[in-house]
Amino acid sequence: MTQAMFPALRLRRTRASGWSRAMHRENLLTPADLIWPLFVTEGAGVEEPIASLPGVSRWSVDLIAARAKEAMALGIPCLALFPNTPRELRSDDGAEALNPDNLMCRAIRAIKQACGEGIGVLTDVALDPYTAHGQDGLVDGAGYVLNDATVEVLVGQSLNQAAAGADIIAPSDMMDGRIGTIRMALEGAGHANIQIMAYAAKYASAFYGPFRDAVGSRGLLKGDKKTYQMDPANAEEALREVAMDLAEGADSVMVKPGLPYLDIVRAVKDRFAVPVFAYQVSGEYAMIEAAAAAGAGERDSLVLETLLGFKRAGASGVLTYHALHAARLLNG
Ligand code: PBG
């Protein structure tokens, strides 16, 4: 019926051959779109596989530069670092975050020494890998995460990472006012060119479990993070969060998790026309791996299709544990 009435309208025409599909492709995924999160642990010559993140390991500082070089050779432009702080160095005030020789700072220095400007280093700012209670900030007697007192510590943590050579400071804590306070502190300390990527719309998500295993905070965490991370029901509020972080001086913003929040990525891109990144988080990675292991889909295709989805939604890039694998596929 349709073809009889509109014989010239055939959207399948441009799909009929490979060259034509390539020519009409609207979005492109390249290794330059990928940011690779890496977990750092104490010791020498240590690779510790993370059970809930099959294929992902924690690396000791002496092995981390080799990982960075591998990523650099594949065209991945940036790494994101997370420390698994030894239990005895975790405290209620997260003071280890301010130690110039903590795991994070040693890893930054090792990578910058090995790779220089060849690859960027993004560092997570939040206290959860350093606190004995697993919350991202300082808590009061009732367990409430204090905003302004936490921001003060986050400023110190940011300056500590900046001094060690971080290229992008990425606050993931969701305290109010931290972007502006950190920006001013960086300017004051002579770090005008260090970027800030704000975890602007970060949701209180069930998809962070394997990450908490990786940084060793899962068993420590008391309660949840709903008084600071966003309600998954909210979209308008995400736009307010982004507006605030941009007004305070963020160079780019992030939406996290990724796949369940592609609508937020698109809304942020359309409204603000700024670089927006998405974090395909640990639970999403585990879900894809589990699906592939169960035979529900072909792994390489699942990986590339989900990553391309972020580009289509308007993301400038994606933080993903599949970065190395995806870059190999894309270069292949
Ligand atoms: C900590 C932080 C989290 C992630 C990145 N930074 C966990 C959390 O907020 O509990 C999650 C990343 C992932 O699940 O891959 N502030």
Is 288 close to ligand 1, i.e. is its CB under 6 Å away?
no
Question: Has 311 been annotated as catalytic?
Answer: no
Determine which one of 112, 225, 256, 269 is catalytic.
Answer: 256
Q: Does the C-beta of 136 come closer than 6 Å to ligand 1?
A: yes
Residue 110 C-alpha to ligand 1 middle, in angstroms? 23
Do 209 and 218 meet the contact criterion of CB atoms below 8 Å apart?
Answer: yes
Please give the Cα distance from 18 to 299 (Å, whole number): 22
Torsion angle in degrees (nearest 10) through CA of 69, 212, 282, 33: -40
Helix 178-188 with 147-164: angle, nearest 10 deg: 40
Is the CB of residue 172 below 6 angstroms from any atom belonging to ligand 1? yes
Known catalytic residue at 269: no
Cβ of 60 closer than 6 Å to ligand 1, yes or no, is: no
Q: Report pLDDT for 6.
A: 75
Q: Which residues pair with 37 in a beta bridge?
A: 80
- Which of 145, 197, 205, 211 to mutate for ligand 1's pocket (most ligand atoms within 8 Å of CB)? 211
Going along the chain from its start, the domains and CATH numbers come out as 29-330 (3.20.20.70)
Are the beta carbons of 324 and 37 closer than 8 angstroms? no
From ligand 1's centre to the CA of 208, what distance in Å?
Answer: 6
136-190 pLDDT, tens digit per residue, is 999 999 999 999 999 999 999 999 999 999 999 999 999 999 999 999 999 999 9
How many CB atoms are closer than 10 A to CB 14?
Answer: 11
How many Å lie between the centroid of ligand 1 and the Cα of residue 16?
43
What tokens were used for 101? 């020789």
Q: What is the pTM of this model?
A: 0.97
- Ligand 1 centroid–CA 49 distance in Å is 18
C-beta of residue 265 within 8 angstroms of C-beta of residue 315: yes
Cβ-Cβ contacts under 8 Å for 116 (sequence gap 6 or more)? none
Residues in the chain: 332
- How is residue 302 written in tokens? 């699942």
Which pLDDT tens digits describe the chain residue by residue (332 residues)? Answer: 556 677 789 999 999 999 999 999 999 999 999 999 999 999 999 999 999 999 999 999 999 999 999 999 999 999 999 999 999 999 999 999 999 999 999 999 999 999 999 999 999 999 999 999 999 999 999 999 999 999 999 999 999 999 999 999 999 999 999 999 999 999 999 999 999 999 999 999 999 999 999 999 999 998 999 999 999 999 999 999 999 999 999 999 999 999 999 999 999 999 999 999 999 999 999 999 999 999 999 999 999 999 999 999 999 999 999 999 999 999 99
SS3 readout for the chain: CHHHHCCCCCCCHHHCCHHHHHHHCCCCCCHHHEEEEEEEECCCCCEEECCCCCCCEEEEHHHHHHHHHHHHHCCCCEEEEEECCCHHHCECCCHHHHCCCCHHHHHHHHHHHHHHHHCEEEEEECCCCCECCCCCCCECCCCCECHHHHHHHHHHHHHHHHHHCCCEEEECCCCCCHHHHHHHHHHHCCCCCCEEEEEEEEECCHHHHHHHHHCCCCCCCCCCCCCCCECCCCCHHHHHHHHHHHHCCCCEEEEECCHHHHHHHHHHHHHHCCCEEEEECHHHHHHHHHHHHCCCCCHHHHHHHHHHHHHHCCCCEEEECCHHHHHHHHHC
Ligand 1 close to Cβ of residue 211 (< 6 A): yes
Residue with tokens 């308008």: 236
d(CA 198, CA 227): 18
